[in-house]
Structure 1
Amino acid sequence: MHDSVYEMAGDDPRLAKLLRASLTKLAAGPDGRLKELADGVLGGHVDLRQAAMSDAYSDELGAAFGRFWSHYEQLDQRERDELVGQTEQQLDNLLDEPRPS
């Protein structure tokens, strides 16, 4: 994995593990450009920060964020709170440990 992932995670092993899991999921997915980005970062050939800011991937990243934001905006506050709680639980499960207090 490219060193930029660890730098972006601030040397926090939990965040680095989450970024690796996210990149692995993207690498296994159907989206050609995001798959290419993830494969490059996981293979140590692509700097994650530079790739995320690059025009080469901006359309795909923007579209993915747009889909998320459209969904999020339709949620009421209770649903947003539930989503946050579910996400925190999934993160704890993924990382095999609760977040630090």
Structure 2
Amino acid sequence: MAEHPDPKNQVDDSEFMDIAKDPAQARLLRKALERLAEGGAGDTLKEMAQEVLSGRVGLREAATISAYSEAIVAGMQPFKEKWDELSDTERQALAADGERRLEEERQEIAKERRETRQQGQGSGNGAKHAGNGWSL
């Protein structure tokens, strides 16, 4: 069985953009896979998540592997049953919670991008060879 992938050797959020179509959804998908890779949903899904996060198997390919797809279906059954028991109001509340979570993730991504741009512009020290502070 695969070992837990080293975070620096993991795929990044861009690996999931063809599925998610949105950076926030891609990040949340990666985070969900990280939780699965911790093993809380069983050994089969742990292995699948580790394989996907390491880049050895793509998520679409993993879904076509019968052992993984069967584990996904079996793991989703309790959620489906719970969903079926919910009222429309409860479903709408959960959908609103999901939208809020996506918006929080979008804001976090925007903040990270701003910080990255600011770091790229220097932290007030200026460029190493900017020529500031000396003359001939």
TM-score range, shorter chain: 0.7 to 0.9
Structure 1 length-normalised TM: 0.80
Distance 1:81 1:75 in 2: 10
Q: How large is the RMSD of aligned CA atoms in angstroms?
A: 2.1
Bigger CA radius of gyration: 2
What's the CA shift for 1:19?
1.4
Count of residues in Structure 1 that have an aligned counterpart in Structure 2: 96
User: Larger helix proportion, structure 1 or 2?
Assistant: 1
Partner of residue 134, structure 2: none
* Dislocated runs of 4+, deviation >6 Å: none
Instruction: Kindly indicate whether the alpha-carbon contact (under 8 Å) linking 2:16 and 2:26 is maintained by their aligned counterparts in 1.
Output: yes
Alignment of 1:13-92 (within 5 A): 13-30=23-40, 31-92=42-103
Task: For CA contacts below 8 A with separation 6 or more, give which structure has more relative contact order.
Answer: 1
Distance 2:25 2:67 in 1: 25
In the alignment, structure 1 residue 6 sits paired with structure 2 residue 14: no
Q: Which runs of 5+ in 1 are unaligned?
A: none
Q: Which runs of 5+ in 2 are unaligned?
A: 1-10, 109-136
- In structure 2, the residue corresponding to 1:97 is in which secondary structure? helix
Distance 1:47 1:4 in 2: 8
Distance 1:75 1:65 in 2: 16
